[in-house]
């Protein structure tokens, strides 16, 4: 991999994601970056989101809906998507650590990762 050079844009994207508790899409990141860098391009946003998730500084959540979502928190945790409003939220993970081991019992391949996602109605939409 090539040497990494500093870029203001990348720094801002990472910072933005870390201060958001939701999990915005590339487009939302782009719209927010335009407030700081009016000429920033969507391509730059995508390139940096890929780069950041490759080096493990952010997490890419693929296919909650049609567009990818990005999470500034890289600690392993589950996600929940509200089927009413489309929001993606974090969820407690306790008691799910042995899933990979359990799943491997009847499988002759090797399982290295696991992704759990929940769906339903979020607290906000429950009160409507």
Partner DNA sequence: GTTTTTGCAAACCTTTTGCAATGGA
Partner DNA sequence: TCCATTGCAAAAGGTTTGCAAAAAC
Residues found near DNA in the complex (CB under 7 A): 2-10, 25-27, 37, 39-44, 46-48, 50-51, 66-68
61 DSSP β-pair partners: 69
How many CA atoms does the CB half-sphere of 127 hold within 13 Å? 2
- Residue 110 site contact among a copy of itself, DNA, none (CB < 5 to 8 Å, cut-off depends on kind): a copy of itself
If the CB atoms of residues 5 and 110 are measured against DNA, the closer one turns out to be 5
| Residue ranges in 78-117 that form contacts with a copy of itself under rule CB under 8 A | 78, 80, 82-83, 91-92, 94-96, 99-100, 102-103, 105-117
CB under 8 A, 24+ apart: contacts of 104-110: none
CA distance 118 to 8: 35
| Residue ranges in 51-80 that form contacts with a copy of itself under rule CB under 8 A | 62-63, 78, 80
């Amino acid at each position: 991999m090539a040497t990494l050079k500093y870029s203001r844009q990348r720094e801002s994207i990472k910072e933005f994601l870390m201060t958001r508790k939701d999990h915005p899409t590339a487009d939302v990141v782009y719209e927010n970056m335009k407030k700081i860098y009016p000429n920033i391009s969507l391509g730059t946003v995508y390139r940096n989101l890929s780069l950041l998730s490759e080096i493990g500084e952010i997490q890419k959540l693929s296919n909650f809906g049609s567009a990818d979502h990005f999470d500034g928190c890289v600690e392993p945790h589950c996600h929940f998507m509200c089927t009413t409003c489309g929001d993606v939220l974090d969820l407690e993970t306790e008691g799910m650590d042995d899933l990979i081991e359990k799943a491997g019992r009847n499988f002759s391949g090797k399982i290295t990762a696991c992704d759990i996602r929940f769906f339903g109605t979020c607290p906000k939409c429950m009160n409507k």
